[in-house]
Amino acid sequence: MDKKNNFLIKLPIAHRGLFNNKDIYENTISAFKLAIENNYAIELDVHLTKDNKIIVIHDSNLKRLFNTNKIVRKLNYDDIKKLHFLNSKDKIPLLKDVLKLVDGKVPIIIEIKYDRLVGKLEKNLINILNDYQGEVAIKSFRARSINYFRKNCPDILRGQLLMYSKKIYLL
C-alpha cells in the first residue's frame, strides 16, 4: 500500500460511526461526531432515495431501526427526514451533511448499499465526492459498482467486498 492510501491502516475505523444503540445510533450525526472526537476513521453506508438523494443508512428497509416496514428506495427524502431514531434527536442524514460535518478531519469509507441498476447512485456519489477534500474510499459487494468507479473516477480508492460462502474459494 502506498503512503497516499495509508489512512486505511493508520487509524481505527468506527464501523457505522461510534454508537451504542441506546441513545447514539449507527450511521447518525451523533455517531460520526463521537468518531471524530476519538480520531477514528468513519465507515458508513449509503442508499439512494426515490428522489435521488444519497442518504446514510445501512438497511434498505426501515423496520429494524424505525419499526416501520418501508423500503428506502421507494421513499422520497422528505418522508424519510421526518423519522427519528428511538430515544434520540437524530434522523437519517444526507451524505452531503455528513461530509460537511467530517470536513476532512478523519477519513471516510463509504459502502454502497444499492438494489437498483448500477449507475445512478454511483454517478450522484461521484458528483458529491468531487467537491470533498478529505480522504475517501468506497466499497461494495457489487462488482459493477466498483467497476463503475474504476472507469469513471479512478482516483477514488475502491474495494470489492466478498461474503464467505462454502461455494467460493479464494486462492
Q: How far is CA 142 from CA 64, 102, 116, 158, in A?
A: 23, 26, 11, 12
Choose the catalytic residue: 33, 58, 105, 142: 58
Q: Are 42 and 72 in contact (CB under 8 A)?
A: no
Q: Considering Cα of 34, then 108, then 45, then 132, what sign does the dihedral take?
A: positive
Count of residues in the chain: 171
Q: Where are the alpha helices (DSSP H) in the chain?
A: 7-10, 29-37, 63-66, 77-80, 95-102, 120-129, 143-152
Choose the catalytic residue: 7, 14, 15, 121: 15
Is 47 part of the annotated catalytic residue set? no
Q: Are 53 and 59 in contact (CB under 8 A)?
A: no
Is 58 part of the annotated catalytic residue set? yes
**Catalytic machinery residues:** 15, 58
